[in-house]
A and B are shown apart, each in its own frame.
Chain A
């Protein structure tokens, strides 16, 4: 059936099977492979993206359920290649090793910071408790979110920065 979903600000229309999961829609139909797909069981959070400004695990939502709604993926966090403060925080604090969980961590972390610009460690750990990381032990991820909180966090701030793109840095985090 035909669905129209506004993904990262652009309305896209595709004809999909009702059983297609949202994670496969953004990855396979739209080529937005920043959203990762792993456990398939609503546990790991690698597939976290926003639907109507709320993070959800997109392996447990049908694409047809997002028809008429807005979706935001990790590809939308930077501004013209300029990392936002949370992405920058992950780089500064070594918040990733293999990087597989990073898109989900970023989408959950950004949602937290949008609601709570100065979260303490316990709040951060609770917020990301649905996102599994098997490399960092979470310490550096918590530090990365704190780094963003201490360095402007909000995306409005990021757009105020020099818009010159640091392509090398950008690729490193979104790969």
Chain B
């Protein structure tokens, strides 16, 4: 029987209230939302917070909406809502691609995007998605809000830019035209962490790649991406050869570790191949202008 260490439980009523409580308790407190990362760690006593501050009741954090030239996603939006969201589906089917492979439907009913990003697990999927899309994270404190690019949000494994008296409140994604996006993940079984995963968006100007973003999960890619591969693609043709070359760059750039999910060479192979598939599907979706849910190629 797995039982967490004892702790005090407080329920915050507003973002401001949550921040006041976080300020009062300092680094002894942890925020809990869906709890599907934190509670398992507490049951294993890998996390031993003295105070849990429940933010599930906070108003104004469960939205997905167009806000100017960005999509705004509240930190409390659950995986299940992301999977079904029509705005995200219209702009970035990469979200639905990833969500179908994140845990299982029951876990997706509880887990949140904010929790996923703040967990800062190097094998997590939504972090790779937001990294691919070059999104940003809005962090609120008693002094107001600040915005941190996703690629600077994780400061290390299980560490983020969110301070002790701060709360991640929103994730923002630039809206783009002539864009397609896709996510490919290989997992050993339903609900498992990725053996490797890659996501991409491709923005086209005719047949030329105007902008591109890559997100890589579980393969030891710094900041969960590969800027060299992105730079190699921008301004060039959206061709199979270009995507194969980008895949080769990713293959050589990542530094996965061997574990029960596979050896290094296999994960390196996957990082490249899944990058190629994600780019290929993203470009196809950009060309079609629609957002077909099913990719042409299944997972490996």
Report A's interface with B, CB cutoff 8 A: 1, 17-19, 40-43, 45, 48, 54-57, 60-62, 64-65, 67, 108, 126-127, 129-131
For B103, list chain A residues within 8 Å (CB). Answer: 42, 130
For B190, list chain A residues within 8 Å (CB). Answer: 129-130
B-side interface size class: 20 to 34
What is the CA–CA distance of A92 and B191 in the complex, to the nearest angstrom?
Answer: 30
Q: Tell me if A61 and B43 are in contact (CB < 8 A).
A: no
Q: Which residues of B84-105 have CB atoms within 8 Å of chain A's CB atoms?
A: 103-105
Extra 16 A-B pairs, beta carbons < 8 Å, given A60-B35, A62-B35 = A19-B3, A19-B6, A42-B107, A43-B191, A45-B104, A55-B105, A56-B110, A60-B107, A61-B35, A62-B9, A62-B39, A64-B54, A108-B106, A129-B190, A130-B103, A130-B106
For B32, list chain A residues within 8 Å (CB). Answer: 62, 65
Q: Looking across the interface, which residue of chain B has its beta carbon closest to that of A107?
A: B106
**Least distance between A49 CB and chain B CB atoms (Å):** 10
Q: Which 4 A-B pairs have the closest CB atoms?
A: A130-B104, A18-B9, A130-B106, A129-B190
For B2, list chain A residues within 8 Å (CB). Answer: 40-41
**Least distance between A13 CB and chain B CB atoms (Å):** 16
**Least distance between A112 CB and chain B CB atoms (Å):** 9
Report B's interface with A, CB cutoff 8 A: 1-9, 11, 32, 35-36, 39-40, 42-43, 52, 54, 56, 103-107, 109-110, 190-191
Q: Tell me if B106 and A48 are in contact (CB < 8 A).
A: yes
For A61, list chain B residues within 8 Å (CB). Answer: 35, 39, 110
| Contact partner, A19, options B5, B56, B104, Cβ 8 Å | B5
Using known A-B contacts A18-B9, A19-B3, A19-B4, determine if residue A130 contacts B105 with beta carbons closer than 8 Å: yes
What is the CA–CA distance of A131 and B43 in the complex, to the nearest angstrom?
Answer: 21
Q: Tell me if B191 and A130 are in contact (CB < 8 A).
A: yes
Q: Tell me if A41 and B40 are in contact (CB < 8 A).
A: yes
What is the CA–CA distance of A161 and B54 in the complex, to the nearest angstrom?
Answer: 43
Pairs A–B under 8 Å by Cβ, sample size 12? A19-B4, A40-B2, A40-B43, A42-B36, A42-B107, A56-B109, A61-B39, A65-B54, A67-B11, A129-B104, A130-B103, A130-B190
For B40, list chain A residues within 8 Å (CB). Answer: 41-42, 60
**Least distance between B45 CB and chain A CB atoms (Å):** 11
Q: Tell me if A55 and B106 are in contact (CB < 8 A).
A: yes
What is the CA–CA distance of A126 and B106 in the complex, to the nearest angstrom?
Answer: 11
For B52, list chain A residues within 8 Å (CB). Answer: 18, 62
What is the CA–CA distance of A172 and B35 in the complex, to the nearest angstrom?
Answer: 35
